[in-house]
Amino acid sequence: MADLVQLVTIGLLAGGIYAAVGVGFSLVWGVLNIVNLAHGALVIVGAYLTWQIFTASGLDPFLTLPIDAVALFAFGYVVQRGVINRIIRAPLLFTFLLTFGLNLIAVNVLLLIFKSDFRSVTTVYSGAGLDLGGIVVPYIRLAALGIALLVAAALALLLNRTRVGLAIQAVGSDRDAAQLVGIDLRHAYAVTYGLGAACAGVAGGLIAMIQAITPTAGEPYTLQAFVVVILGGLGRVSATVVGGLVFGLVEAFAQSIPGSGSVFANAIAFGVMVLVLVTRPQGLLGRLR
């Protein structure tokens, strides 16, 4: 029984990271209709920003997360307004190629600056955990789960209770009608992409505290974000959170199978995604539209 509870705990804690990675990806996909292949690179940019600030100043890595969010929001706003917006109405293949190109540029810039060495953020509480009757809960992963839920809640609040959030939802529902009522589409698109990048930056900062990072480490997170959105359902923040937690649980139980490795565990997790696509294409919680 203790082993089962430990597995569930590990899965939920990992799922928090996947939810943090997925919410920004889901927002951009749902509103802009762009499957952002540069999302993983944005995650790693946030991770390196946390590492750089922590290394240079000794600032607690959790305190760097707001800096990650602001910096990545500004970067995402500029990239969307100046580059992606030029082909926003082009066929999906064009946005695929553009975001893939942005991913390559970001990865190679990181390689030029940081080389391919592994970097990690190690604090006095790294490796420490809470022991609850044999159930070990790492402090950093527990805090990461809480922060991921807070980020998702803040994003949901912004989308549903603010003028800019309602404008973003209006653009996502019907961009032509939104433009007719006076919404600046270019600004709404840029804010949406900026918010997605900000969420990616926070996720990257959390990841830097949990595992070693390299410039090329972002690619799996793009794929995982895609799976998380498919599992939960496109169109709502809560669905992405559920998708992330489910993905974390499936991965944890798959890794517990004797003789299985991370590749086998990922294969099982992606198999679950295919099963969901076949049996419930709208996702576990369903799409809003």
Q: Give the closest residue to 48 by CA, choosing from 246, 163, 184, 212.
A: 212
> At what angle are helices 219-232 and 39-57 packed, to 10 degrees?
120
Q: Is pTM beyond 0.85 here?
A: yes
> CB neighbours of 239 closer than 8 A, spacing ≥ 6?
26, 232, 233, 283, 284, 285, 286, 287
In the three-class reduction of DSSP (H, G, I as helix; E, B as strand; rest coil), residue 213 is classed as strand
pLDDT in single tens digits along all 289 residues of the chain: 667 888 889 899 999 999 999 999 999 998 888 889 999 999 999 999 999 999 999 999 999 999 999 999 999 999 999 999 988 888 888 888 999 999 999 999 999 999 989 999 999 988 888 887 778 889 999 999 999 999 999 999 999 999 999 999 999 888 889 988 899 999 999 999 999 999 999 999 999 999 999 999 998 899 889 989 988 887 788 889 999 998 998 888 887 777 655 666 667 777 877 888 788 777 777 654 4
Question: What's the N-to-C CA distance of the chain in angstroms?
Answer: 41
